Amino acid sequence: MAELPENILQTLERYRNPPNKLRSVQEINARYNLALENYKKICFMSGDVREQKVATHSEIKTLGWVLGKPEKDIIKDITEHSNRPNFPLQL
């Protein structure tokens, strides 16, 4: 068997032991809450922050799904952490 280049060996090792591996519900929940706080900060920033906002929004939704939260609860959390007005639902 031929020797593998060093960068391939490093890549394989990273896949076996990812550095940011989420291990527990508590850690995922903490990451979810941190992402919500980051989203709040991004919403109040000036300038073109659309890419950051979209990326953080996606992270929040993904973490919420992993936690088993319903879609409407995730959206509610995101809205509460944004600078948009939160209007009550009209039924």
Q: pLDDT (tens digit, 9 = 90+) per residue, 62-78? A: 999 989 999 999 999 99
Q: What are phi and psi of 22, to 5 degrees?
A: -80, 130
Please choose, from the candidates 74, 56, 57, the residue with its C-alpha nearest in 3D space to the C-alpha of residue 65.
74
Burial (CB < 10 A; 0-12, 13-18, 19+), residue 90, is exposed
Angstrom distance (rounded) from CA 34 to CA 3: 43
On whether the pTM is more than 0.85, the answer is: no
Mean pLDDT of 46-66: 89
